[in-house]
Amino acid sequence: MEHYNITSMATLAAHSPLKALVSEVVLSLGASCLIVFEGGPQPWPLVPARFHGDAQAEGEGLGVEALSLSEPRRAQQHAYRVTCHALGEQWLVFSSGNSPGPLNQDPSVEQSRVRVDCSAPGSLSLSLLPSSPPSIPPSSLSHPCPEPHYPASLLSVSSSRDAVLQLAVFDHRGVQFDNFSSCSVNWLTSNYSLLSLPSHTHMGLADTHTPSGHSKLHGRQVLRAHDLTGTVTITVALTPAQDSWATPLTASVHLRLVEDVLWDKRAITLYNHPDITENLTLVQGSGHFLVRLQDRELANITYLENSNVVQVSPLRPGLSSILAYDLCLTSADPAVTSISISDITDFQIDFVDIVEVDHSALVRVRVLDSNRQPFLHHYLPLMHLKLTPSSPILTVEPAGPLDSVSVGYRVSGQTVGVVSLHLSAVDSSGSVRTSSHKQLQVDNQS
CATH assignment of the domain containing 288: 2.60.40.60
3-state secondary structure the chain: CCCCCCCCCCCCCCCCCCEECCCEEEECCCCEEEEEEECCCCCCCCCHHHEEEEEEEECCCEEEEEECCCCCCCCCEEEEEEEECCCEEEEEEEEEEECCECCECCCCEEEEEEEEEECCCCEEEEEECCCCCCCCCHHHCCCCCCCCCCCCCCEEEECCCCEEEEEEEECCCCCECCECCCCEEEEEECCCCCEECCCCCCCEEEEEECCCCCEEEEEEEEEEECCCCEEEEEEEEEECCCCCCCCCEEEEEEEEEECCCEECCCEEEEECCCCCCEEEEEECCCCCEEEEECCCCCEEEEEECCCCEEEEEECCCEEEEEEEEECCCCCCCCEEEEEEEECCCEEEEECCCEEEECCEEEEEEEEECCCCCECCHHHHHHHCCEEEECCCCEEEEEEEECCCCCEEEEEEECCCEEEEEEEEEECCCCCEEECCCEEEEEECCC
Q: Which of the listed residues 118, 139, 162 is the one where a domain comes to its end?
A: 118
Residue 330 maps to a domain: yes
Percent of residues, the chain, with pLDDT higher than 90? 64
Residue 153 maps to a domain: yes
CB count in 10 Å sphere of residue 1 = 2
Please check whether residues 329 and 430 belong to one and the same domain.
Answer: no
Whole-model pTM? Answer: 0.78
184 bridge partner residues? 239
CA–CA distance, 331 with 159 (Å, rounded to integer): 11
What domain range includes position 272?
A: 262-342
Does residue 141 surpass a pLDDT of 80? no
Please check whether residues 132 and 254 belong to one and the same domain.
Answer: yes
Please check whether residues 337 and 353 belong to one and the same domain.
Answer: no
Q: What is the pLDDT of residue 404?
A: 94
Going by their DSSP bridges, the two strands 354-356 and 438-443 should be labelled as parallel
Please check whether residues 53 and 163 belong to one and the same domain.
Answer: no
- Find all residues with CB under 8 Å of 132, minimum gap 6, and list them: 141, 330
Please check whether residues 320 and 228 belong to one and the same domain.
Answer: no
Kindly report, residue by residue over 248-293, the tens digit of the pLDDT: 899 999 999 999 999 999 999 999 999 999 999 999 999 999 999 9
Please check whether residues 151 and 249 belong to one and the same domain.
Answer: yes
Please check whether residues 131 and 220 belong to one and the same domain.
Answer: yes
Q: What is the pLDDT of residue 304?
A: 95
CA torsion 201→215→132→156, rounded to 10°? 60
Contact 178, 25 (CB under 8 A): yes
Please check whether residues 209 and 315 belong to one and the same domain.
Answer: no
Closest listed residue to residue 147, CA positions, set 273, 373, 305, 338: 305
Please check whether residues 145 and 227 belong to one and the same domain.
Answer: yes
Sign of CA dihedral 427, 430, 436, 437: positive
Please check whether residues 37 and 149 belong to one and the same domain.
Answer: no
Residue 238 maps to a domain: yes
CA–CA distance, 180 with 142 (Å, rounded to integer): 33
Residue 336 maps to a domain: yes
Q: What is the pLDDT of residue 92?
A: 94
Residue 12 maps to a domain: no
Give mean pLDDT, residues 132-139: 55
Residue 140 maps to a domain: yes
CA distances to 297, 319, 369 from 268, rounded to whole Å, are: 17, 10, 12
Q: Which of the listed residues 118, 147, 170 is the one where a domain comes to its end?
A: 118
Residue 1 maps to a domain: no
Residue 3 maps to a domain: no
CA–CA distance, 107 with 15 (Å, rounded to integer): 12
Please check whether residues 130 and 247 belong to one and the same domain.
Answer: yes
Give mean pLDDT, residues 18-32: 92
Q: Which of the listed residues 342, 365, 390 is the one where a domain comes to its end?
A: 342
The answer to which of 11-15, 70-74, 430-434 has the lowest mean pLDDT is 70-74
Q: What is the pLDDT of residue 446?
A: 65
Contact 314, 334 (CB under 8 A): no
Please check whether residues 251 and 151 belong to one and the same domain.
Answer: yes
Q: What is the pLDDT of residue 100?
A: 79
| CATH number of the domain enclosing 179 | 2.60.40.10
Q: How many domains does the chain have?
A: 4
Give mean pLDDT, residues 412-440: 93
Q: What is the pLDDT of residue 74?
A: 56
Give mean pLDDT, residues 397-419: 94
Kindly report, residue by residue over 317-369, the tens digit of the pLDDT: 999 999 999 988 876 689 999 999 999 999 999 988 899 898 999 999 999 99
Does residue 243 surpass a pLDDT of 90? no
Contact 301, 325 (CB under 8 A): no
Q: How confident is the model at residue 82 (pLDDT cuts 50, 70, 90)?
A: very high
| CATH number of the domain enclosing 409 | 2.60.40.1080
